Amino acid sequence: MLKKATFSPAQPRRAKTRLTQVCFSARQHPQLSPPGKSCSSSSGRAGENITSPVFSRLRPRWMAFLSILLLLTSTVSFSEAQLDRLRRSKGLEQQAIAETPMAEISEGVFTMGFDGTQALEDERPRHQVWLPAFFMDLHEVTTSQYATFLAATHRLAPWQWNTVELSQHGDRPVIGVDWSDADAYCRWKGKRLPTEAEWEKSARGTDGRLYPWGNQVPNKDLANYALGARFSYSQVLMPVQSYAQGTSPYGLYQMAGNAGEWVQDWYAANSYEISPERNPQGPEQGQFKVLRGGSWSDLPKYLLTYGRFKLPPDTRNSYTGFRCAQS
């Protein structure tokens, strides 16, 4: 049974503080003001004016209930305030987030994989694959675009997100996302991650080229690569529509370098030996997910259109971003 609240002469400061909190809350939420209690608005102090003996008996219970209710209310308000500060600090109110344009990749056959000595075992054999028509984002998902997703979904922020300043980095690819983050973003946009086959055709076209721009070895006019291992949004990542000379046959930017890209497929070393010729979707399960394209840190040999990489799907690092596809 709850006991009556009593305030001894040694407790006047605590009593005043508690009553002040109740009155402050009542001014913010008049509907919560307890019966028989009035609060002074001129001095900002609480004054006790209990007119009902019933309330005197119920005061401890009422105060406990009110404290819990106000705690919940203040928690929600604080969370909303935090989110509002995030939006402002990240520049979302000032910066319009345009939809990513998409390229249509036509239905048909293309060459996937490679048989040369420079190809790794899991990149062999060279084989023909047919795909239906689909659409692919012209560029990687940016930090600005991903920030709108975070504000809408309250999803866990990417690795190194605290270093992002949208006024400076809004057009850089988002990195530090794991596979499920990338998948969730694409679904939120009404899209999906591309399959490995879709990604390679988008980068390679139908002529079997080694790099998105052709067979010329990479240089600094074609791609963002080989910048070492020390990460900084400002120093190593480039705007997603940079390197116009290095676009793919379909006009896609940075299918080599800048950020490596998650794709839909689970990884299997023998995928090419067992996958169907028509619209392969990859293994049904696995330990790793496939990445494509190489990154700002990689050497030229990792920028090849047929190059395959693998990572555990829960990996977040400074090298990996993504783009979306749509059927």
Write down the CATH superfamily of domain 102-326: paralog of FGE (formylglycine-generating enzyme) (3.90.1580.10)
pLDDT recorded at residue 230:
83
Mean pLDDT by 10 residues, the chain (327 residues): 39 35 35 38 37 45 52 37 46 54 98 93 96 98 97 96 94 97 98 98 97 97 92 90 98 98 98 95 97 96 97 97 98
Report the C-alpha gap between 289 and 264 in whole angstroms: 7
pLDDT recorded at residue 235:
87
pLDDT recorded at residue 26:
36
pLDDT recorded at residue 52:
44
pLDDT recorded at residue 64:
53
pLDDT recorded at residue 98:
63
Give pTM, 2 decimals.
0.72
Structural domain boundaries in the chain: 12-89, 102-326
pLDDT recorded at residue 111:
97
* Residue among 254, 241, 248 at smallest CA distance from 321: 254
pLDDT recorded at residue 219:
97
**Strand 38-39 relative to strand 46-47: parallel, antiparallel, unpaired?**
antiparallel
